[in-house]
């Protein structure tokens, strides 16, 4: 073959060949044959009416076989398990383009991610159990299980059960998402990353979506503790402006200080994860995990009370798109703490105990404004404010009606929603497990117990009923807390005992379990039941009125004020 051209010729049975129709000039000729090494001759000069002869001997090719790597892949479904489950390890997560646990779970078979959260096999969002180091991470009031934002690089192991979860999980109607936080290794390791789409080094104008995504982690052993005592620390930040380009001048949160730091953009997410692991001896380990999450945005999907009648609508507050400074701002603050102890005390026997606390707080307000002003002298509901120019709807009528305008609020009216709820949940879990020597039988039994404190406040147009300043300087008393209100606080307990057994024999797996659940709704519910038909409030009306008069004073303060710690209130 003449290199660089399509001009070539095959040899005959004896290896003879001839190439014709060659223009004058210098060429490179390559000779090749299967099983032999190629030879190339450069600088072959072809002159007019000249014939060139090449006698070539090819040497047998020498092939050196390199390292052979045989890879084994596990089956997508474990045919010897009585449940449909998937396990993703930290090594696998490194190869995935995911940032948090939601994105990681959404990649697994049988899972669908919606604006409300994760759906497993078509189940509702609140029918999935979410666990981080054995402690439930689900807000029991809103039904949202991903209030705890765990970054992907903080996950050491993720177990997803999409069917046959078993008696160990109380509320896993749809599935189970169980994550274990990473532990430190025997060597010090640290790293991080920062991604931005606003390179202002050469321009004062931001480009893209004004996004910053940053991560930092450090892990390893404590000094002079070798592998016995290790730590893992990770922090993550993601701030961005929404694609709508409609944003508030500055997001304000009434439960967080330094808004410019915590909420520099329209959507802001922060997480911090810390874990310590201590190995007492062979078969004994104690771990401590603390995970904190914060989210501040103006997406109405942030506060969704899951239910059968939930309507799917976009989260953008279109009515306030001309004045996002007066729209509703949502703050979600969550902290999860877990202490785990594991002890393998005999052949095949293990004991696990977990103590945990989950605190989650959700606040919705008019972009950080106080619950309501001390006094009011004007309407604040944007849909009720008429601005110039006024367009009269019925000019010939003695009662004038005006057109509502374009439908977009730009009249200094503020959001009518004020919501606040928190859950403080203490959990204790213990279980014994036994695996038979031939691994045919796996027995588990134990108990779970939760002690909860829940408070819920919903107020529509909270300024309605606020005191009015009279001409003589005095103020009228507070007449109501908004146009409508729902306030309650309860302290329920719940838990359950369970036992399950999984047996495997010749490729057949059978799993059977039994669970006994118990619950106590608390004194609030008992009082309500006992007083049905006698009065509409479960407390003395005078106490309720005193509460109303004091609401303006302490609801505007820092959130540490808990409503009537010794009194249950319902309006």
Three-state DSSP string of 305-353:
CCCCCCCCCCCCCHHHCCCHHHCCEEEEEEEEEEEEEEEEEECCEEEEE
What pLDDT sits at residue 159?
A: 86
What pLDDT sits at residue 259?
A: 85
Nearest by Cα to 152 from 130, 129, 179: 179
What pLDDT sits at residue 364?
A: 92
Tokens of 32: 């090749």
CA distance 289 to 337: 6
pTM for the complete prediction? 0.75
Domain range 84-181, CATH class: mainly beta
What pLDDT sits at residue 559?
A: 32
What pLDDT sits at residue 536?
A: 47
Q: Which residues contact 37 (CB under 8 A, 6 or more apart)?
A: 58, 59, 60, 61, 62
For each of the chain's 571 residues, which pLDDT tens digit applies?
988 887 888 888 888 888 888 888 888 888 988 878 888 888 888 888 888 888 888 888 766 666 777 666 655 555 455 557 778 888 888 877 778 877 788 787 778 777 666 777 777 777 788 889 989 888 888 766 555 778 888 888 888 887 767 788 877 777 888 889 999 888 899 999 998 887 655 555 555 678 899 999 999 998 887 778 999 999 999 999 887 778 899 999 988 878 889 999 999 999 999 999 999 888 899 999 999 999 999 988 887 665 545 556 678 898 898 899 999 999 999 999 999 999 998 888 999 999 999 999 999 999 999 888 888 888 888 888 877 677 787 878 888 787 766 678 888 889 998 999 999 999 999 999 998 887 788 899 999 999 999 998 889 998 888 888 888 888 888 888 888 888 888 889 999 999 999 887 776 778 889 999 998 877 766 776 666 555 444 445 554 555 444 443 434 333 333 333 333 333 3
DSSP SS3 for 274: strand
Residue 350, burial from CB neighbour count under 10 angstroms (0-12, 13-18, 19+): middle
Residue pair 198/265 in contact by the 8 Å Cβ criterion: no
Among the residues of 406-540, which ranges form H helices?
A: 523-530
What pLDDT sits at residue 150?
A: 82
DSSP SS3 for 293: strand
What pLDDT sits at residue 532?
A: 56
What pLDDT sits at residue 116?
A: 65
Nearest by Cα to 291 from 424, 179, 150: 150
Residue pair 37/64 in contact by the 8 Å Cβ criterion: no
What pLDDT sits at residue 64?
A: 62
Nearest by Cα to 311 from 459, 113, 115: 115
CA angle at residue 430 from 425 to 435, to 5 degrees? 145
Secondary structure element (H or E) that encloses residue 550, with its range:
helix 541-555
Tokens of 488: 């309650």
CA distance 411 to 113: 37
Radius of gyration over every alpha carbon of the chain, rounded to an integer in angstroms:
35
Dihedral over alpha carbons 418, 373, 262, 321 (to 10 degrees): 60
Nearest by Cα to 298 from 274, 265, 334: 265
What pLDDT sits at residue 153?
A: 85
Paired sense of beta strands 284-297 and 329-346, if any: antiparallel
Residue pair 211/199 in contact by the 8 Å Cβ criterion: no
CA distance 194 to 202: 18
What pLDDT sits at residue 78?
A: 53
Would you list the DSSP string of 60-72?
Answer: BP-PPP-------
What pLDDT sits at residue 206?
A: 52
What pLDDT sits at residue 568?
A: 38
- CA atoms within a 13 Å half-sphere pointing along the CA-CB vector of 78: 15
Nearest by Cα to 232 from 248, 245, 216, 247: 216
CA distance 497 to 518: 9
What pLDDT sits at residue 204?
A: 53
Provide CATH 2.170.130.10 ranges for the chain: 84-181
- Where do we find the tokens 């914060």? 294
Q: Which residues contact 489 (CB under 8 A, 6 or more apart)?
A: 453, 454, 455, 456, 524, 562, 563, 564, 568, 569
Please tell me what DSSP assigns to residue 382: G
């Amino acid at each position: 073959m003449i290199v660089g051209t399509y001009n070539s010729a095959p040899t005959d049975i004896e290896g003879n060949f001839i190439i014709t129709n060659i223009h004058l000039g210098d060429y490179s000729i390559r000779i090749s044959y299967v099983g032999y090494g190629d030879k190339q001759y450069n600088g072959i000069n072809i002159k007019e009416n000249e014939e060139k002869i090449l006698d070539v001997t090819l040497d047998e090719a020498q092939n050196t076989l390199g390292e052979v790597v045989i890879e084994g892949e596990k089956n997508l479904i474990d045919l010897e398990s009585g449940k449909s489950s998937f396990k993703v390890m930290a090594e696998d997560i490194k190869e995935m383009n995911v940032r948090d646990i939601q994105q990681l779970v959404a990649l697994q078979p049988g899972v669908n991610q919606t604006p409300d959260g994760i759906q497993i096999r078509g189940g509702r969002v609140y029918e999935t159990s979410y666990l981080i180091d054995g402690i439930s991470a689900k807000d029991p009031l809103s039904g949202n299980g991903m209030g705890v934002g765990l970054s992907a690089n903080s996950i050491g192991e993720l177990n997803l059960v999409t069917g046959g979860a078993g008696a160990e999980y109380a509320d896993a109607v749809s599935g189970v998402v169980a994550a274990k936080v990473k532990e430190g290794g025997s060597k010090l390791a640290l790293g991080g990353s920062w991604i931005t789409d606003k390179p202002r080094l050469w321009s004062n104008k931001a480009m893209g979506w004004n996004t910053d995504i940053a991560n930092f982690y450090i892990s390893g052993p404590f000094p002079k503790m070798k592998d016995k005592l290790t730590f893992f620390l990770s922090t993550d930040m993601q701030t961005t402006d929404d694609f709508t380009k409609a944003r508030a001048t500055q997001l304000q949160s009434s439960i967080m200080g330094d808004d410019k730091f915590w909420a520099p953009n329209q959507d802001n997410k922060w997480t911090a994860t810390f874990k310590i692991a201590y190995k007492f001896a062979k078969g004994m380990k104690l771990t401590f995990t603390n995970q904190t999450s914060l989210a501040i945005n103006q997406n109405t999907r942030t506060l969704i009370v899951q239910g059968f009648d939930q309507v799917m609508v976009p989260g953008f507050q279109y009515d306030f798109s001309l004045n996002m400074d007066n729209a509703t701002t949502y703050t979600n603050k969550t902290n999860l703490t877990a202490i785990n102890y594991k002890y393998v005390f005999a052949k095949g026997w293990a004991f696990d105990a977990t103590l945990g606390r989950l605190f989650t707080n959700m606040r919705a307000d008019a972009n950080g404004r106080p619950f309501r002003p001390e006094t009011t002298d004007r309407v604040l509901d944007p849909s009720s404010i008429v601005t110039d120019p006024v367009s009269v709807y019925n000019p010939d009528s003695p009662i004038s009606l005006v057109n509502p305008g374009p439908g977009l609020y730009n009249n200094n009216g503020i959001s009518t929603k004020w919501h606040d709820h928190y859950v403080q949940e203490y959990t204790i879990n213990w279980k014994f497990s036994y695996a038979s020597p031939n691994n045919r039988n796996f027995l588990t039994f134990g108990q779970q117990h939760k002690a909860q404190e829940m408070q819920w406040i919903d107020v529509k147009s909270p300024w309605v009923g606020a005191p009015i300043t009279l001409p003589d300087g005095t103020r009228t008393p507070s007449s109501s807390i908004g146009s409508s209100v729902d306030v309650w606080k309860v302290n329920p307990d719940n838990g359950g005992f369970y036992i399950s057994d999984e047996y495997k024999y010749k490729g057949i797996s059978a799993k059977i379990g039994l669970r006994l659940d118990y619950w106590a709704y608390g004194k609030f519910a008992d009082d309500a039941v006992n007083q049905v038909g006698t009065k509409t409030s479960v407390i003395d009306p005078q106490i309720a009125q005193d509460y109303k008069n004091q609401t303006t004073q302490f609801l505007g303060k820092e959130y540490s004020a808990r409503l009537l710690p010794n009194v249950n209130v319902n309006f």
